[in-house]
């Protein structure tokens, strides 16, 4: 027996079969709407009628149900097309989670708790909680590797409250940062931060988080042009930073002398920098601040050594997309995602205008001592750049995991170095009279916010399944 579940289908079939049945085959048993038998009464017509009914049955189903088949096929194509479309930035973490469910990622800790966790808790969505019971993971004076541009306490900052704000995700808690555990996991490995001074700050934060577990004679910090290397000798491990503010080649590539207002980027050229990245096991990229000039970017078509240079201007978003494509293309060619991990730290916000959060007129981060409490607050960070990141990473052939620090850092107007840093040039009487005129509202004090960035990185690196 064959069951028809679609109401009214058999009545349509019976009309078609009855009107087109060969002679001698019309005298058949009565059929119910729910079942039927394809046996003619006369035995000598058995084979002919069976074939005839079978042919007409197939043709009839195609005629009647053709529209359903076409609609179903069209829906399948739409689903495939939707999968091919680049996801929005907020869906990248979900996409990464789908990868996690297929194959365990390198460095990821897989245990029974991890296996039972199917949904990412969203560690980048949460709130800042003031917690004096939980001290910073290190003290400024205990870490000799912090640059004087980031040592706020040493340069006179009167408060310490910015060190006691703890990031609390809405639906889970961050794993406790365990320096000894991380060093063991990095044994024989190379962790490389690549980008601008903000990524260098995150690199220094990571060194400070780890170095206290290493005897003085077993650690070192050396700089080789654009590359700075912290070595944990007992672990045969290195934490490194490579200066490349645009990722691709530019006229701002000197790690010391790079304050150039007329910035020029060389097309899709990344190999000048990338040849120093080969062999790394964990990559942490960033680039953003240097693109935000307020003008179109200058793109060099040839080489910086050419006597006559061909330069075109390009919209910031288009030139940024070019750099993202170059980075992704290089990683797809040179990084084995079965053994290595790639991260990208999203845009670090600035707080140069207090008008953005309803503060005093002409103010900025100077004298700010508490975070912004409005959950929906978004300052001057470029949403179009965020969109470019989402689109390009969504098309990548290997997983590039986003450390989305932008929104949670938008709240932290209190965490910048402000005026509490080494000043490389003597301050004028006018500046001394009005400190907010020279406040640095881009970089962050250490210890401070960037330690949270690394806690998030730590969580995604070792515990992506929780």
Active-site annotation, residues: 197, 440, 443
Beta bridge partners of 312: 299
Q: How many CB atoms lie within 10 A of CB 425?
A: 7
3-state secondary structure of 245: coil
Nearest CA-CA partner of 419 in 411, 427, 430, 409: 427
Quick one: which H or E segment has residue 49? helix 46-84
How does DSSP classify residue 172? S
- Give the max Cα distance, the chain: 116
Q: What is the dihedral of CA 79, 85, 86, 91, to 10 degrees?
A: -20
Q: Which residue has the tokens 């200066």?
A: 243
Question: Regarding beta strands 341-345 and 282-285, do their DSSP bridges make them parallel or antiparallel, or are they unpaired?
Answer: parallel
Question: Residues 147, 198: contact at Cβ < 8 Å?
Answer: no
Q: How many CB atoms lie within 10 A of CB 105?
A: 21
Provide the residue count of the chain: 466
CA 98 – CA 125 distance, rounded (Å): 19
CA 21 – CA 291 distance, rounded (Å): 76
């Amino acid at each position: 027996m064959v069951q028809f579940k679609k109401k009214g289908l058999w009545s349509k079939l019976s009309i078609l079969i009855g009107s087109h049945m060969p002679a001698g085959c019309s005298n058949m048993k009565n059929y119910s709407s729910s079942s039927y038998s394809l046996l003619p009464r006369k035995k000598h017509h058995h084979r002919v009628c069976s074939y005839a009914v079978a042919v007409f049955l197939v043709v009839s189903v195609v005629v009647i149900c053709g529209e359903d088949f076409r609609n179903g096929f069209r829906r399948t194509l739409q689903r495939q097309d939707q999968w091919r479309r680049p996801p929005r930035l907020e869906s990248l973490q979900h996409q990464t989670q789908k990868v996690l469910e297929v194959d365990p990622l390198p460095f990821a800790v897989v245990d029974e708790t991890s296996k039972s966790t199917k949904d990412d808790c969203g560690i980048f969505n949460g709130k800042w909680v003031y917690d004096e019971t939980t001290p910073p993971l290190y003290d400024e004076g205990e870490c000799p590797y912090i640059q004087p541009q980031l040592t706020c306490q040493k340069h006179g900052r009167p408060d310490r409250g910015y060190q006691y704000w703890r990031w609390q995700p809405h639906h889970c808690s961050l794993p406790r940062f365990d320096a000894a555990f991380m060093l063991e996991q990095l044994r024989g490995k190379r962790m490389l931060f690549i980008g601008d001074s903000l990524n260098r700050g995150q690199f220094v934060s990571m060194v400070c988080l780890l170095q206290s577990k290493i005897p003085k004679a077993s650690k070192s910090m050396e700089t080789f042009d654009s590359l700075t290397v912290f070595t944990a000798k007992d672990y045969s491990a290195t934490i490194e930073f490579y200066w490349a503010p645009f990722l691709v080649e530019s006229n701002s590539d000197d790690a010391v002398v790079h304050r150039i207002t007329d910035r020029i980027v060389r097309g899709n050229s990344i190999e000048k920098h990338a040849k120093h990245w080969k062999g790394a096991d964990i990559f942490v990229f960033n680039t953003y601040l240097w693109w935000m000039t307020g003008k179109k970017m200058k793109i060099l078509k040839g080489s910086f050594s050419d006597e006559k240079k061909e330069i075109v201007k390009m919209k910031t978003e288009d030139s940024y997309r070019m750099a993202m494509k170059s980075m992704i293309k290089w990683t797809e060619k040179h990084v084995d995602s079965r053994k290595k991990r790639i991260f990208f730290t999203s845009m670090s916000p600035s707080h140069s205008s207090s008008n953005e959060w309803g503060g005093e007129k002409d103010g900025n981060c100077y004298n700010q001592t508490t975070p912004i409490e409005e959950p929906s607050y978004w300052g001057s960070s470029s949403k179009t750049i965020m969109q470019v990141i989402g689109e390009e990473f969504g098309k990548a052939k290997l997983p590039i995991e986003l450390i989305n620090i932008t929104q949670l850092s938008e709240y932290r107007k209190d965490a910048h170095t402000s005026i509490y840093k080494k000043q490389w040039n003597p301050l004028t009487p006018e500046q001394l009279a009005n400190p907010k005129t020279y406040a640095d509202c881009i970089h962050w004090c250490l210890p401070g916010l960037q330690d949270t960035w690394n806690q998030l990185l730590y969580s995604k690196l070792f515990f992506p399944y929780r």
